[in-house]
Structure 1
Amino acid sequence: MTLSRRAMVAGLGALATSLAPKPPPSRSPAPEPLAVPGGRTPDQLAGDEGFWRTVARRYRVSPDFVNLENGYYGIMPEPVRHAYHRNVDRLNELNSHLLRTSYKAEADRVRERIATVLGASVQEIALTRGGTEALQNLISGYNRLRPGDAVMYADLDYHSARYAMNWLRDRRGVSVERMVVPEPATRQGVLDAYATALRDHPKVKLLLISHMNNRTGLVLPVREITAMARDRGVDVIVDAAHSWGQLDFTIGDLGADFAFFSLHKWMGAPLGSGFLYIRAGRLADIDAAFADETYPGDDIRSRVHSGTMDVAPILTVGTALDFHEVLGGPVKQSRLRFLRDRWVHQVRDIPDLEILTPEDPAMYGTMTAFRITGRTSEADNVAIAKDLLDRHRIFTVRRGGPARGDCVRVTPALFTSRDDVDLLAVALRDLASRMRG
């Protein structure tokens, strides 16, 4: 059948109309913009439950349990969730037209926003599908290792990062060393442990450091450890997946040349968003991903090749950063530490209950683990987490890895109330008394 010219023009007009952005389908209304009260310090605002109730209303949280396991990933606040749905719809409607026209420019604007908040340049940022992809690309791509060299990580480092470091044994012909972070930890004790480990293993050329580890929540003095390593000719890759957005810092505060970050944890972006950082002047020390030729070798984006990916999370990062900046890093940090202090300070006197972060505020955020003395197996701590859920509707998670045994991790969030963590304190007293009995 032959189409008339009029029919063809009408068809092209319909196609153009279909490519235009459409309003999203009807959903729950977006909340009013959040306003932060002025005239108070972040620490003063941290205990203002009235204000934090207004923040909590920006989250859709299940009423079926008290969620104190927010370390896996962060629930999106409502403005971010609405933006994500719009971007899913937009991607689905525009399809490859979006990916082949405006997406790269939009992704670069996201990189610029990240760089601004982080205190970096856009040329030092490459987007990834999460912190794990970022860590794998940095560790596997690090090309300064030679057979006979060594790499090192600690007992508290993230398991996926440890796996990637172990992989270097066959990939680069290196040995893999494991050190133990002292427990209980102090700032000086941690510095001494790293100094001793580097001194005792002079062949180490690459060190993995967790700014905040995902097992106990301990925050390390990364800048000092990095400087110590650099003096010995050791490069450092920093795991900042849990710290960025939970703690208030910029990349300059870490002194890092290489670091990886998650955006779907404490920045509240959708699952599937993260980035890696390579300091200017160090790009040549990380190989292009799979000999990527999409970008020139002097472009950091050549260090990531994700294929065709869901770009809706990336397109939503700007909205997540907007929400973060409305509250501000210092306010978020103060509130999250307040919640940790609220329950920890109520249970420190309980016999045989070990809190695995010290009282030094520079060494914790909101994520903290506890252990019942002598209950160090995986089965023990799975049972403890189950007991808290079954008896008190409190959701936590067992964590393994620390040299002195397994533990249970507690992770409040911005929507967590003072009553929630008070309930945990009551539950832990009940738990400890029954275990002693």
Structure 2
Amino acid sequence: MTKLTRRGVVAAGLALGAGSQALAAASPAGGIVMAADETYWAGIAAQYDLADDVIQLENGNWGIMARPVLAAYERHQAMVNRRNSYYSRREHGGDLARIRTRVAASLGVDPEEIAFTRGATEALQALIGGYNRLGPGDQVLIADLDYDSMQSAMAWLKDRRGAELIRMSLPEPATEAGLVEAYAEALEAHPRVRLMLLTQVSHRNGLHLPVAQITALARTRGVDVILDSAHAWGQVGTNLRDLGADFVGLNGHKWIGAPIGVGVVYIAKARIPDIDPFMGADDYAAGDVRLRVHTGTANMAAYLALEDALNFHDAIGTAAKAARLTYLRRRWTEPLREVPGVQILTPKDDRLGSALGAFRLAGRTTPAENADLARILLERFGIFTVARHGLASGSCVRATVSLFTKPAEADRLAQALTELVRA
């Protein structure tokens, strides 16, 4: 059995039951570990200090720091506080440049194409508000799975640019072909769409879209894509060149495990002029991506700890994390597919899944009913989840596993829901 190390881990060929899709990946360091190797993953889980008063299955809000990242963050905060403005004015720039290079390499892009923000929301709002290729009569496209504040920002483009908002609903049950076809039909029906919002991993039900196929489709029609990768970086592939979107917002404090308040905005080098400088800012040269967002004085220690979070993340590897998270999510979704009265909104196709999954009791689609279900799971079973609203098919409850989730905790969710519908 592979020993726990801080370098490359692989999820290799794990069969998750009869007829299930195997999970396999390759590690640069050549190590091998199964997604169900509980000895290995217990060592990873031990790096997280977690309260034990509830079963924590609401890990989509933000991702807690692993112990070595938290310790590094505390050291960085003490140093910044001690060195004061001398550090911020004379030394922080060099540190941030180094970290910027590291982040760019993680995303498969050039350092000159990214800037730091305080989160994906700030990054995406800068992209949406600054996009300057729209005029009266143009249309912009959003889907029901997109994040609420991003939908609001896209709707605001009517006031900002005179663009008409088009809404679409993604098909359920979702298939890769069906999702691509849904976007193709929407663009065919609305030929004046010039900009569309695309969410790589939805915060509502965890659906992982086939982004590269959809962005390629949009490109053939002259449609630009703003990609919301808030839930992607750190748990699914985020080589931005491969994904094909020219404008992307990402979070470092979800699945990379950096402190809260760390985000990234990406603009492909040739497209930087298509995003206006933020409110007439002139801090940098006209073609500098950093001119497109302005955060003021940010949490310097948090950005320093991003480098430590990437070290911890890279020691495990995205492929291994994805395999483990898929394994844990399947521990509760797959048994429940066979339980009458429970509706699982997560596709069976693991390519379309993530650590986030969603469910509802059959026929119970209102916000109140799903908020009540989340309450019952907490009060009666000690399982913390969260109600999510906005799906065209109705509200649901979201459960999100993490690297510290025990298989028995995921199993307990399946058992609790089975008990509820059979009571």
TM-score, length basis structure 2: 0.93
1:206 aligns with 2:206: no
* Contact 2:205/2:345, CA 8 A, preserved across alignment: yes
Aligned to 2:39: 50
1:117 aligns with 2:106: yes
* Contact 2:145/2:204, CA 8 A, preserved across alignment: yes
- Kindly report which structure 2 residues correspond to 1:176-255, keeping only aligned pairs within 5 A, or say none: 176-255=165-244
Question: Which amino acid is the alignment partner of residue 81 of structure 1?
Answer: L
Query: For the residues of structure 2 that align with 1:415 and 1:87, how far apart are their CA atoms?
Result: 25
How far the C-alpha of 1:280 sits from its partner, in A, is: 1.6
State how many pairs are aligned: 403
* Contact 2:10/2:317, CA 8 A, preserved across alignment: no
Segments of structure 1 that go 5 or more residues without pairing to the other structure are: 1-31
- Decide which of 325, 338, 344 is 1:355's aligned counterpart: 344
Aligned to 1:61: 50
1:308 aligns with 2:329: no
1:425 aligns with 2:392: no
Aligned to 2:119: 130
Query: For the residues of structure 2 that align with 1:141 and 1:38, how far apart are their CA atoms?
Result: 40
Aligned to 2:286: 297
Query: For the residues of structure 1 that align with 2:117 and 2:103, how far apart are their CA atoms?
Result: 12
Aligned to 1:258: 247
1:375 aligns with 2:369: no
How far the C-alpha of 1:80 sits from its partner, in A, is: 0.7
How far the C-alpha of 1:120 sits from its partner, in A, is: 0.7
Question: Which amino acid is the alignment partner of residue 244 of structure 1?
Answer: W
Query: For the residues of structure 2 that align with 1:432 and 1:304, how far apart are their CA atoms?
Result: 49
- More deviation in 182-191 or 33-42? 33-42
Query: For the residues of structure 2 that align with 1:404 and 1:204, how far apart are their CA atoms?
Result: 24
What secondary structure does 2:358 align onto?
A: strand
Query: For the residues of structure 2 that align with 1:248 and 1:66, how far apart are their CA atoms?
Result: 28
Aligned to 1:143: 132
Give deviations 1:76-113, integer Å, cap 9, x for gaps: 00011011111221222222111101111111111111
Aligned to 2:29: none
How far the C-alpha of 1:306 sits from its partner, in A, is: 0.8
- Kindly report which structure 2 residues correspond to 1:93-112, keeping only aligned pairs within 5 A, or say none: 93-112=82-101
How far the C-alpha of 1:35 sits from its partner, in A, is: 5.9
What secondary structure does 1:144 align onto?
A: coil
Query: For the residues of structure 2 that align with 1:263 and 1:87, how far apart are their CA atoms?
Result: 17
Question: Please, what is the CA RMSD of the aligned residues?
Answer: 1.5
Give deviations 1:12-68, integer Å, cap 9, x for gaps: xxxxxxxxxxxxxxxxxxxx9746678966755210111111111100111101100
Give deviations 1:250-276, integer Å, cap 9, x for gaps: 112211111110000000000000101
1:364 aligns with 2:353: yes
Query: For the residues of structure 2 that align with 1:39 and 1:191, how far apart are their CA atoms?
Result: 28
Query: For the residues of structure 1 that align with 2:325 and 2:5, how far apart are their CA atoms?
Result: 21
Higher Rg: 1
Question: Which amino acid is the alignment partner of residue 39 of structure 2?
Answer: G
Give deviations 1:216-244, integer Å, cap 9, x for gaps: 00011111111111111110001111011
TM-score, length basis structure 1: 0.90
What secondary structure does 1:206 align onto?
A: strand
Query: For the residues of structure 2 that align with 1:333 and 1:101, how far apart are their CA atoms?
Result: 39
* Contact 2:359/2:396, CA 8 A, preserved across alignment: yes
- Decide which of 59, 79, 87 is 2:76's aligned counterpart: 87
Question: Which amino acid is the alignment partner of residue 393 of structure 2?
Answer: R
Question: Which amino acid is the alignment partner of residue 186 of structure 1?
Answer: T
Segments ≥4 residues shifted beyond 2 Å? 32-44
After superposition, the Cα gap between the structure-2 partners of 1:182 and 1:108, relative to the gap in structure 1 and judged at 3 Å, is: same
What secondary structure does 1:282 align onto?
A: helix
Question: Which amino acid is the alignment partner of residue 282 of structure 1?
Answer: R
After superposition, the Cα gap between the structure-2 partners of 1:426 and 1:204, relative to the gap in structure 1 and judged at 3 Å, is: same
* Contact 1:52/1:417, CA 8 A, preserved across alignment: no
- Decide which of 253, 256, 262 is 1:267's aligned counterpart: 256
Question: Which amino acid is the alignment partner of residue 195 of structure 1?
Answer: A
Query: For the residues of structure 1 that align with 2:214 and 2:252, how far apart are their CA atoms?
Result: 25
How far the C-alpha of 1:352 sits from its partner, in A, is: 2.3
What secondary structure does 1:198 align onto?
A: helix
After superposition, the Cα gap between the structure-2 partners of 1:402 and 1:46, relative to the gap in structure 1 and judged at 3 Å, is: same
* Contact 2:11/2:320, CA 8 A, preserved across alignment: no
What secondary structure does 2:235 align onto?
A: coil
Give deviations 1:317-336, integer Å, cap 9, x for gaps: 00000001000111101000
Question: Which amino acid is the alignment partner of residue 383 of structure 2?
Answer: I
Aligned to 2:156: 167
What secondary structure does 2:270 align onto?
A: coil
- Decide which of 56, 60, 67 is 1:78's aligned counterpart: 67
Aligned to 2:401: 412
What secondary structure does 1:46 align onto?
A: coil
Give deviations 1:373-412, integer Å, cap 9, x for gaps: 1111111011100111111111000000100100000100
* Contact 2:233/2:250, CA 8 A, preserved across alignment: yes
What secondary structure does 1:45 align onto?
A: coil
Aligned to 2:16: none
